Structure 1
Amino acid sequence: MPTSPNLQELFRTAYGAVYQCNRYNCYFVEFAGGISPFKVKDFLVLKQHVDAINVEKMVEDPSRASDVHVLMPYRSERCFVLTLADVLHFQELLQGARAMMALNSILYECLYAPLVY
């Protein structure tokens, strides 16, 4: 778990966490034994790629090749080799983090929006 005054935990599950770094305007994803930084746009693309993994096909396909999914995010040194359970846990983590990002945006708008009379 990263410890820095610049990192704020955005969302956590039993399998990982997502931290927001305001200093560098990025997110740190802690998952499967590693921590990877992602710029905001790259984080959103990562979420799209993880959400696009066809879980039903992984379950139904009896071939050994369908047992894992290899994900190589843009501008990242990390490669994720995900089992079916890993895909589900990663989807949950990224979905929760994205929900917290949306909630933070709504709260910011409500607190700092100019008052109109």
Structure 2
Amino acid sequence: MSELVCPLAHVEEVFSTAAGKVYQCSRKNCFWLEYNNETTSFSVSDFLKFKKRMDSIDVERMINDTTRSSDFEIVMPFRTERCFILAVEDVLHLRELLDGAKFMMELNSVIRTCLQVSPFAVLA
């Protein structure tokens, strides 16, 4: 992980693929996306907005459109200094990474909810 992360942060890997990794920082309540040898920090809401933006990219149009402008998609996530210039393959790799990270976030939430057992329910 890049040196952008605070040394006091408690960072846990959420999900990874061959293309990159997503980490969660409990100290700063944010997510770190490591992709294409760069690391980008997102608040939770901005991470979800970025995922939604990635999901909205029309990959089929990119593939079928023969104009040069359709070969790449430029994505500039909100409140970051990062600019992603993505070919079709990059879009698909990044979607896989973000989908996996979101799934793991939801799974973690479900598990925590299930583990919160009322003391009275145990006695019954």
* Range into which the TM-score falls when normalised by the shorter chain: over 0.9
Task: Specify which of 88, 104, 108 is matched with residue 112 of structure 2.
Answer: 108
CA deviation profile, 1:6-64 (whole Å, cap 9, x unmatched): 11000000000000000000000001120000000000000000000000000000011
SS in 2 for 1:86: helix
Match of 1:15 among 14, 19, 32: 19
The reply on whether 1:75 has 2:58 as its aligned counterpart is: no
Residue number among 96, 99, 116 corresponding to 1:92 in the alignment: 96
Q: Which runs of 5+ in 2 are unaligned?
A: none
What TM-score, normalized to structure 1?
A: 0.94
Give the count of matched residue pairs: 117
1:25 and 2:29 correspond: yes
1:66 paired with 2:70, answer: yes
Q: Find runs of 4+ consecutive structure 1 residues off by over 3 angstroms.
A: 2-5
Identity of aligned residues (%): 45
TM-score norm. by structure 2 comes to 0.89
- Compare CA radii of gyration and give the structure with the larger one: 2
Q: CA separation of 1:67/1:116 partners in 2, compared to 1, >3 Å: closer, same or farther?
A: farther
Relative to total residues, which structure has the larger strand share, 1 or 2? 1
Q: Deviations over 1:81-109 (max 9, x none)?
A: 00110000000000000000000000111
